[in-house]
Homo-oligomer: A and B are copies of this chain.
Amino acid sequence: MNRSELVNQIRLKESFLCIGLDAELTQLPAHLLDFSDPVFEFNRQIIDATKNYCVAYKPNLAFYEALGKKGWESLERTVDYIPKTHFTIADAKRGDIGNTSRLYAKAFFETLNFDAVTVAPYMGEDSVKPFLEFKDKWAIVLALTSNKGAQDFQIPGDLYKHILRKAQTWGTPENLMFVVGATQADKLKEIRELVPDHFLLVPGVGAQGGDLTEVAGSALNKDVGLLINASRSIIYAGKEMDFAEKAATESISMQRLMKIAMTTKS
């Protein structure tokens, strides 16, 4: 999916919500365990219930790899099931030497047909560039993450700012986004000044405690330029037969806040 298609979907739905499809077998509603592929069935019902209120889905690879070959099958079925109107992100945080990153790019963009993959920046330019060489595909580079460990190396010496400055020269706002955690709202305005045009993928709203309206106020740009992700707060909003309805209700309430933020900004 290219940038203008993504922006169109956002305007159409008045939503920049991304839903994290991070199902753990131990967390699923019990009745789903009778299905031959409980994780896919869970995702399918979540997608059906929420697709009108979000523009993107983001499976995190760890949740699938923990289940081995069967998890990989659930992931393939899930990606195939997501409507083509939705932007798909492999939250994989990959990054390796050039010839290896090229194969990760192939895995996510060709074998699995994702639109985007999250990439860890530590190994530098040649570890990121292979993800930028596929038409209408995206690399989403970690800048400032939502977890406590962001304090260890990202914030001291403003490393994340250095990464934002340097990495934006490797791609364009048409094929490169950045991850900025919602729990870092105080730094979002400055980040937006450093990368005025790029989309930001913002996890950390919901279970991790970030505030949607605060994030939107600091980081919306002329093309919206934001994907705010929620995972657990949506997919585990309910744990019974009506889990998908509950997920829809939670998505709608986030979408309404997004609509207000978009209207206020424009």
Q: A149 and B163 in contact (CB under 8 A), knowing A95-B93, A104-B62, A104-B65?
A: no
Cα A163 to Cα B104 with chains together (Å):
25
Which of A43-51, A124-132, A189-197, A251-259 sits within the interface? A124-132
Q: How many residues of A contact B (CB 8 A)?
A: 56
Partner of A147, one of B127, B156, B159: B127
Chain A 80-107 interface mask (CB, 8 Å, partner B; 1/0): 0000000000010111111011011011
Copy number in this complex?
2
Cα A121 to Cα B121 with chains together (Å):
10
For the complex formed, measure the closest distance between the CB of A265 and the CB atoms of chain B, giving whole angstroms: 29
Is B124 within 8 A of A62, CB to CB? no
Chain B residue with the shortest CB-CB distance to A146:
B97
Partner of A62, one of B96, B142, B157: B96
Q: Which of A34-55 contact B (CB under 8 A)?
A: none
Is B60 within 8 A of A68, CB to CB? no
Cα A180 to Cα B13 with chains together (Å):
48
The interface residues of chain B lying within 8 Å CB-to-CB of A6 are none
Main SS class of interface, A:
helix
Which of A69-77, A210-218, A220-228, A239-247 sits within the interface? A69-77
In this assembly, does A135 line the interface, its C-beta being within 8 Å of a C-beta of chain B?
A: no
Cα A132 to Cα B100 with chains together (Å):
25
Q: Which of A128-170 contact B (CB under 8 A)?
A: 128, 142, 145-154, 156-157, 159, 162-163, 166
Cα A73 to Cα B112 with chains together (Å):
16
The interface residues of chain B lying within 8 Å CB-to-CB of A127 are 147, 149
The interface residues of chain B lying within 8 Å CB-to-CB of A67 are 107, 111
Cα A101 to Cα B145 with chains together (Å):
14
The interface residues of chain B lying within 8 Å CB-to-CB of A33 are none
Cα A93 to Cα B142 with chains together (Å):
14
In this assembly, does A186 line the interface, its C-beta being within 8 Å of a C-beta of chain B?
A: no
